[in-house]
Structure 1
Amino acid sequence: MRIRRRGILGIAAGLAAPRIVRAQGAWPRQPIRLICPFAAGGPTDVAARLIADGLSNALPERVVVENRTGSGVVVGTEMVAKAPKDGATFLYSTVAHSVLRVLFNNLSFDPVRDFQPVALLGTIPMLLQVNNKVPADDLRALIAMVRDKPGRMDYGSSGAGGAVHLATELFLHAAGGLKMNHVPYRGSAPAMPDLLNGNLTMILNVASDGVESVRRGQTRGLAISSAKRVPQLPDVPTFSEAGLPGYEAYTWHMLFAPAGTPDDIVRKLNEAANAVVRDARVQQRFTEMTIQPRSDTTPETAAAWLGAEIEKWEPVVKAIGMTPA
């Protein structure tokens, strides 16, 4: 008999999600690999492990997160695209998935044709953070500072084509075509030491990864990319309030299966994932991470969401001339 694991975040044990009893020959027949194409310790990885722990308690087999980074999110995503369609391998990804086909012109897979969206799990705004050595006290002052020194300041990202990269380039474009140097990392967590020590001027971080450093005074938060302020940082204004009206950007978390995975497997995983996200303790942890939980999507509505995001972000990538730096 398999011993049920305790969640790494201390909340997965006892989830309300009902355990699915496995009939002979039914899915899953082996431990499930959940590929996360972001670095361990970053916000996407933390959320992926939270969901994996919940699924491990809801399903008859363990769900194990594997971090496979490289070329933005390409390496991990390619692994899932080429994985057997037997329900043993899935992808946990973000808005980065929606721009892969315009950001990289030599992919060995198609981000739409080779994947089946399973469930949209949550959405997250972005937090503009600067190191404490930056003299700008607000967004307008930062914009003026960057404008006065084009190409002389650096910003960090979680990787080429990721949410941080996209949101920052959109911000620079919206602020009048500002010029900064892009320094990509394998996840936003590895970028934070360089932000703290002043090697990076700023990072337009996934809010779930930036809240604590702002609360502790290690960095300063100048703006949040949602329509309203977030309760975790009530003193940080929205971009509109801070002087850049209309600017909004979000990342999101979604489960994907390789295209061709049997429909009954996709729907069973969708049902289990929705049940995990509905659990009160998961919702509380998501809220603490500034993730707005979603527990009502079907594979069809998740696919529609992905399509809308592709329509939104592909023109931005083309207009900005973004490359996988």
Structure 2
Amino acid sequence: MKKISLVLAILIVLLAATVSWSQQKVFTRPVTIVCASAAGGGTDQTNRGLAEGMKETLGVQVNVINMPGGGMAIGMDYVWGKPHDGSTILGVSETALFLPGFGGHHTTAKDWQWFWAGGSPGVVLVPMQSKYKTFMDIVDDAKARPGQVKVAASGHPSVWSIKWIAITTSIGIKTNDLVYGGSAPSVTAGLTGEVDVVHVSAGEALQYMQAKKLRPLVATEVEPVNIPGIGTMQPITDMFPDLKKVLPMPQMLGMAIPINTPQPIKDTITRAFTVAMTTDAMKRILEAQVATPFGLSGEKANSLSKSLESQFNWALVDLKLAKKNPAALGIAKP
């Protein structure tokens, strides 16, 4: 009887502690989202929308700072080095999932809890005054002048740069691929005539397409893409069916926290993220990005991230771009 009473007493104490924890305010200081890409791009805009939508649930101000560089590794390092208490969140895109094979960061997808808000399709664009009227014009010129057609495809690695390399490798052309610090400066390079071709997301170039400053030629996807005010873009796989072997290679916009963040904190951030995804402001941001809303968190987000990490890093091996063997990092083949 005494043993039963002791067990009951312990259970009551544990229950009281659990209730006490749940009643505590998880956050008492402002939360910072460290966006690992430059201001103005899709990752930045998405995280600013999430920050605004999360603050009511978290009960504190949510600030956003930009810390680009190293293919997102600088921002990842900063967040990883902070206490894993949810007060510092990583604003991130799918670029982070390429980093293991590049040796860009010591973590892999399994080390983070991911939150994916949405993603926008890729498009190939040229300045309105460009001599290129179709994507095949670019292909023909690149074949005639190998390595001379200048292309801006965001930073390296990024889904836009790696996807572009995969596309050009598959169809047998070589271009002069210039590295920029994100999609926003890549678009600027196209607007100023610094490059001949731009490959970024439809959302990151939407206002310039609608203003008739950039002309979209093809969607780097496997399905047609409808761009508001522009029309339906043909998928590149219609012209080059073999590209279905490497595509789709999707953009993912969202945030992440270290996987060993205490569960009550992860639960609170998950609730805040879920609420943020329902706000009108967030819906408008994703719509302006021509983005498909995902709203993925928990195991669904983590499972997808590991799958994409596998696809991306083994693609690096196939393209002879990998600096580290994915298998040695515990990343299985797709």
- Classify the TM-score, shorter chain: 0.7 to 0.9
Q: What is the alpha-carbon distance in structure 1 between the residues aligned to residue 26 and residue 44 of structure 2? A: 25
Which residue does the alignment assign to 2:271? 271
Give the letter for the 1:215 counterpart: Q
Cα–Cα, structure 1 residues 305 and 169, in superposed 2: closer, same or farther, change >3 Å?
same
Q: What CA deviation, in whole Å up to 9, does each residue of 1:9-39 have, x standing for no partner?
A: xxxxxxxxxxxxx977431121111111111
Residue correspondence of structure 1 range 95-114 to structure 2 within 5 A: 95-104=94-103, 107=105, 109-114=106-111
Q: What is the alpha-carbon distance in structure 2 between the residues aligned to residue 166 and residue 187 of structure 1? A: 13
- Runs of 4+ residues over 4 Å off in structure 1: 22-25
* Local SS of the residue matching 1:152: coil
Give the letter for the 2:171 counterpart: A
Tell me which of 233, 245, 248 is aligned to 1:236. Answer: 233
Q: What is the alpha-carbon distance in structure 1 between the residues aligned to residue 88 and residue 185 of structure 2? A: 26
Tell me which of 127, 136, 144 is aligned to 2:140. Answer: 144
Give the letter for the 1:72 counterpart: G
Q: Give the CA deviation at 1:55.
A: 1.0
Q: Give the CA deviation at 1:313.
A: 0.9
Do the aligned residues in 1 keep the contact of 2:151 with 2:198 (CA within 8 Å)?
A: yes
Q: What is the alpha-carbon distance in structure 1 between the residues aligned to residue 56 and residue 25 of structure 2? A: 17
Give the letter for the 2:185 counterpart: P
Residue correspondence of structure 1 range 1-325 to structure 2 within 5 A: 25-104=24-103, 107=105, 109-117=106-114, 119-176=115-172, 178-226=173-221, 227-232=223-228, 233-241=230-238, 243-245=239-241, 246=244, 247-295=247-295, 297-322=296-321
Q: By percentage of residues, which structure has more helix? A: 2
Q: What CA deviation, in whole Å up to 9, does each residue of 1:178-219 have, x standing for no partner?
A: 212222122221222321122211121021111221121111
Give the letter for the 1:67 counterpart: N
- Identical aligned residues as a percent: 19
Q: What CA deviation, in whole Å up to 9, does each residue of 1:124-144 have, x standing for no partner?
A: 211111123432211122111
Q: What is the alpha-carbon distance in structure 2 between the residues aligned to residue 197 and residue 38 of structure 1? A: 21
Give the letter for the 1:156 counterpart: A
Q: What CA deviation, in whole Å up to 9, does each residue of 1:79-115 have, x standing for no partner?
A: 112211111111121111111010126x3x3133542
Structure 1 unmatched runs, 5+: 1-21
Q: What is the alpha-carbon distance in structure 1 between the residues aligned to residue 285 and residue 188 of structure 2? A: 25
* Local SS of the residue matching 1:73: helix
* TM-score under structure 1 length normalisation: 0.85
Q: Give the CA deviation at 1:281.
A: 4.3
Cα–Cα, structure 1 residues 240 and 113, in superposed 2: closer, same or farther, change >3 Å?
closer
Do the aligned residues in 2 keep the contact of 1:36 with 1:92 (CA within 8 Å)?
A: yes
